[in-house]
Structures are given as structure tokens and as C-alpha cells.
Amino acid sequence: MRRNVSSGSYLEPEIGFSRAVRSGQFIAVSGTAPIGDTGETVGKGDVFRQTQYCFEIAKAALEEAGGTLSDVVRTRIMLTDITRWKDAARAHGMFFSDIRPACTFVEVSRFIDPDWLVEIEVDAVVNG
């Protein structure tokens, strides 16, 4: 069983990807940027707010695919400035302090939009 989930991002049809894909018990959430409903960058200049918003988008995709945050086994946080990792970590902790998935922080040179300071990915395994 495969199920594709869209978040409505303007980039999904252009690139040809889904926000999330569920295959059996596994859900993969694509690199998620802080893109608001009208295509604007949410939280310009604010790593914490951008990370928080990315996790809100990912949470909605997980739920649409039949999962929850409790099913998350791995997160990846990509930052354009690794020195700001604590801001992203604080947002991560808001969602995962009790769940404690495997987590990786990496620095990247840039994203598609220069206003994006962070993108996240989430992997989950639904039990049941």
C-alpha cells in the first residue's frame, strides 16, 4: 500500500514530489521548508520560528498519512548556519522531548529560497 500526501506547496508539482509518502507502516516526510499558505517564508530571519513551522507542516502530513509524532523514529535538521543549532533544537524539543527520535543536525550551503534558514525531514514507523 502506497499513499502520497500533499501539503499544497507550490513546489510539489514543479519538482514532482509529495510532502509525505506512506508505504505500509513507514512514513517519510520530505525536506520541509517554512513555506506559508500563500508561498511566503514564515519566520524570516528566525531559526526557531522556521523550525517550529516546518514541524507543524510535517505533523499535519504525518497525521494525514495515518501517523502521529509518537511514531517518529528519525528527524533531520538542515541549517544554513550551524551556529544557530540551539534555536532549531529548542523547536525540536517542543515536539519531541518525550518521544526522543534519532536526530541529526547538518549545515548546508543554501536552500532553494535564500530566506529559508532551515529544512527538516521526518521518518516514522506506524505501529498498528
In the chain, the domains with their CATH numbers are 2-125 (3.30.1330.40)
Q: CB–CB of 101/75 below 8 Å?
A: yes
d(CA 87, CA 109): 18
What pLDDT is stored for residue 122 in this prediction?
98
Q: Rounded mean pLDDT of 83-95?
A: 98
What pLDDT is stored for residue 7 in this prediction?
82
What pLDDT is stored for residue 56 in this prediction?
97
pLDDT, the chain, mean = 95
